[in-house]
Chain A
Amino acid sequence: MTYTVLARCPRTGHVGIGIATYSICVGQYCDGLQSRVGATMTQAFVNQGNNGLALRLLAQGFAPARIIDELGLNDPYHDYRQIAVIDREGGVAAFTGPKTRGWAGHRIGDGCVAFGNVLAGPNVVEAIAAGYAADPDAPLERRLLRALESGRDAGGQRGAQGHLTERSAALRVFSDFDYADLDLRVDLHDHAVDELRRCFEEYEPYRAYYRERGRNPHDAVPQDVFVARLKASKAEARA
C-alpha cells in the first residue's frame, strides 16, 4: 500500500522521490538519495538497511541491476521487498518481490521508476509514469508531484476492504549539495497528496528567500516582512 515515483532529471542531474501511502510518516524511510550519486527506495516490507547499502554501492560505481542482485543476496526476505535504483547517469533497475501484497508492480520509464503495491491495478503505475512524462521541461519536483497526483486519480491503493486513502506523503529532491534541495512531508493526514500539493505551493515562494537569507544574511529582510510582502503581492495579483 504505497506508490512511488523515483527519478533523475536528465537536464539537471537532480534526483528525487515522490511517495504516498496509507502508512504514516513515510518520509522517515526516504533516506536513499544522495547528490551526484543516485537514488534508491525499498518499500512494501521495508529492509531499512537497503537504502544505505545501495547508496554505498552506487557511490562505488555498481550498476543498478547489479545492486538489486546484491541486495537480494544480502537479504533472506528479498521476495517481500519492492526496490528501485537509479544511478547518476539515469541507469535504472527495479524489482517487485513475488511476496509483496495486493496488486504490486513497477514500470520503468526514461530515468524514472513508477512502482507500488496494494494498488487498484497496473493502471496506477501507468498513470504515475504518464504523469511524470507529461511535461519533461518542468522542474523535477513538479514532475514528481504530478506523477503522484496521477497515481492517486487512477485509483491509488486498494486493500481487502477497498480503497485506502493516502495518510502520508513526501517529496524530496537533491541537486548538488550534501543536503536536500527540497524536502517536504505530510506525516498524518486524511488526504496526504492534496496536503502535499498545498505545502508545496505554499513553500515554493519561500524557497529562494530561505536560501538567500542564509547566503547573504546582511541583506535579508525579516521573515515577517517577507510574509507581509508576499501577501500584498498575492492580493495585488487577485485584484
Chain B
Amino acid sequence: MTFSIIGRCARTGRLGLGITTFSLAVGGRCEGVKANVGICKTQAFPNRGNDPLGVTLLAAGYAPARVMAMLAANDPDHDWRQIAIMDREGNIAAHTGSNTRGWSGHATGSDCVAFGNGLVGPAVLDGLIAGFLDDPTAPLEFRLMRALEGGRDAGGQGTATQHKPERSAAIKVVDRLDYPDIDVRVDVHPTAVQELRRVLEEYKRYEVFYRERGRDPAHAIPQDVFAAQLEAAQR
C-alpha cells in the first residue's frame, strides 16, 4: 500500500520522486534517485537491491525497458514487485507484479509515471497524474507535492470500506550535482502528506539561505537572525 509518482521537468531536466504510504519512514528506502542518471523505485514487496542496481544499469547506458527486463531476470519474486524507472531523457518503464496486493497499477502521463498498490482504485493514479499536470510551470517539487495530494484526495490507500492513512511521505528532486536539490521527509505522522506540504513550504523559505551560507560563508548571517527576519516578514 503505497502511491508514488516519478516526474521530469521538461524545462530544466530535473528528475524527482514523490511517495507516500502507510508504512513507516518510506523516504529511507528511496536510494534509487541519482542525478544525471535517472530514477528507479521498487515498492509493494520491495527488493531493496533493485533500485541501486537499476540506477547503476541506467548509468551504464541501458534503456529503462532493458533495465526492467534485467531486474526481472535477477529476481525470482519479480511478480511481487511494483517498479517504475525513468531515465534522464524521460523514457519510462513500469511494472506491476501480478502478486502485489489490493488494487494495484501504474499509468503514464506527460513527463511522469504514477504507480501504486493497495489503493482504493484507478482513480488514485488519475489523481496523481492530474495533480502533476495541474501547473506545468511550477517547480518540480511542487508538482510532485500536488500529485501526492491529488492521489490522496482521490481516495489513496485502502478499500472502498476501509481507508488507510498516509503515515510517511517523501519528495526527492535531483539536478546535475552529486547531492539532491530537494529532499524532504515525514517518517511517522497521522496525516503525512499534509505534514510533508508543511515541511516543504517551510524548507523552500530556507532553501536559498542554506545554500548560500555554504557557498559564501563569509557573508552569511546567523540562522537565528534569518529566522527572525522570516517571522517578521510573515507577520
A binds B: yes
Asked if B65 contacts A76 (CB within 8 A), the reply is: yes
Residues of chain A with a CB closer than 8 A to B163's CB? none
Q: How large is the interface on B (under 10, 10 to 19, 20 to 34, 35 or more residues)?
A: under 10
A56 to B60, CA, bound (A): 7
B66 at the interface (CB under 8 A from A): yes
A123 at the interface (CB under 8 A from B): no
Contacting residue for A73 out of B60, B61, B66, CB 8 A: B66
Residues of chain A with a CB closer than 8 A to B63's CB? 49, 74-75
Residues of chain B with a CB closer than 8 A to A56's CB? 60-61
Asked if B61 contacts A52 (CB within 8 A), the reply is: yes
Residues of chain A with a CB closer than 8 A to B60's CB? 53, 56-57
Contact with A along B49-81 (1 / 0, CB 8 A): 000000000001111011001000000000000
Q: How far is the CB of B112 from chain A (nearest CB, A)?
A: 21
A74 to B60, CA, bound (A): 12
Residues of chain A with a CB closer than 8 A to B61's CB? 49, 52-53, 56, 74
A60's closest neighbor in chain B, by CB? B60
Contact with B along A35-62 (1 / 0, CB 8 A): 0000000000000010011001100000
A196 to B69, CA, bound (A): 44
A50's closest neighbor in chain B, by CB? B61
A74 to B87, CA, bound (A): 13
Q: How far is the CB of B13 from chain A (nearest CB, A)?
A: 17
Number of A residues whose C-beta is below 8 Å from B? Answer: 9
Contact with A along B10-54 (1 / 0, CB 8 A): 000000000000000000000000000000000000000000000
Contact with B along A71-96 (1 / 0, CB 8 A): 00111100000000000000000000
A52 to B60, CA, bound (A): 8
A57 to B60, CA, bound (A): 8
Q: How far is the CB of A83 from chain B (nearest CB, A)?
A: 14
Residues of chain A with a CB closer than 8 A to B66's CB? 73-75
A76 to B61, CA, bound (A): 14
A76 to B63, CA, bound (A): 10
A74 to B91, CA, bound (A): 13
A54's closest neighbor in chain B, by CB? B61
Asked if B62 contacts A53 (CB within 8 A), the reply is: yes
A56 to B65, CA, bound (A): 19
A98 to B60, CA, bound (A): 27
A56's closest neighbor in chain B, by CB? B60
B62's closest neighbor in chain A, by CB? A74
Q: How far is the CB of B67 from chain A (nearest CB, A)?
A: 9
A52's closest neighbor in chain B, by CB? B61
Residues of chain A with a CB closer than 8 A to B69's CB? 73
A76 to B66, CA, bound (A): 10
A66 to B112, CA, bound (A): 33
Q: How far is the CB of B181 from chain A (nearest CB, A)?
A: 25
B60's closest neighbor in chain A, by CB? A56
Q: Which residue, of A52, A73, A76, has the highest number of chain B Cβ atoms within 10 A?
A: A73
A57 to B62, CA, bound (A): 11
Residues of chain B with a CB closer than 8 A to A73's CB? 66, 69
A56 to B57, CA, bound (A): 11
Residues of chain A with a CB closer than 8 A to B62's CB? 53, 74
A75 to B60, CA, bound (A): 14
A96 to B61, CA, bound (A): 21
Residues of chain B with a CB closer than 8 A to A57's CB? 60
Residues of chain B with a CB closer than 8 A to A49's CB? 61, 63
B61's closest neighbor in chain A, by CB? A53
A75's closest neighbor in chain B, by CB? B63
A75 to B65, CA, bound (A): 9
Q: How far is the CB of A42 from chain B (nearest CB, A)?
A: 12
A201 to B217, CA, bound (A): 57
A56 to B56, CA, bound (A): 12
A49 to B61, CA, bound (A): 6
Residues of chain B with a CB closer than 8 A to A74's CB? 61-63, 65-66
A128 to B61, CA, bound (A): 31
A148 to B1, CA, bound (A): 61
Residue numbers of B with Cβ under 8 A of A are 60-63, 65-66, 69
Residue numbers of A with Cβ under 8 A of B are 49, 52-53, 56-57, 73-76
List 19 A-B residue pairs with CB atoms under 8 Å apart, sorted by A's residue number: A49-B61, A49-B63, A52-B61, A53-B60, A53-B61, A53-B62, A56-B60, A56-B61, A57-B60, A73-B66, A73-B69, A74-B61, A74-B62, A74-B63, A74-B65, A74-B66, A75-B63, A75-B66, A76-B65
